[in-house]
Amino acid sequence: MSYRGFLSWLLLVTIFGLLFYPAHANARSTGTIQTLVIMVDFNDVPFTYTPDSFQSLFFSCGTKSVVDYYYEVSYSQLNIGGR
């Protein structure tokens, strides 16, 4: 993964974390949460990843994706869905 690709991935993970970090008592920690992943492109470096690669990174089951992470740390209580 290139430096730019890493920064894009880090930005998306950060946004995802900010959206779902349980900062207040009403935050859901069980059930299914729908989320949105926004791909970011920079003018100085061409984008080399496809939307399908980010779909896999976030939402594929059994591939150490973001979905897998939240499912594991919630003791199988939280499912993440989205686009």
pLDDT above 90 covers what percent of the chain? 1
**Cα within 13 Å of Cα(19), Cβ side:** 14
What is the tens place of the pLDDT at every residue in 42-77?
Answer: 888 777 878 888 888 888 888 888 888 888 888 999
The pTM score is 0.60
**What is residue 23's predicted lDDT score, i.e. its pLDDT?**
54
| Residue span of the structural domain in which 50 resides | 3-82
Give every CB contact of residue 77 below 8 A, 6+ residues apart in sequence. 29, 30, 31
Q: Classify 43 as helix, strand or coil.
A: coil
Does the pLDDT of residue 26 top 80, yes or no? no
Answer for the pair 12, 54: CB distance below 8 angstroms, yes or no: yes
Please name which of 63, 40, 65, 67 lies closest in space to residue 51, comparing C-alpha atoms.
40
**Cα within 13 Å of Cα(24), Cβ side:** 3
How many CB atoms neighbour CB 31 within 10 A? 9
Domains: count for the chain: 1
Residue range 24-52: average pLDDT? 78
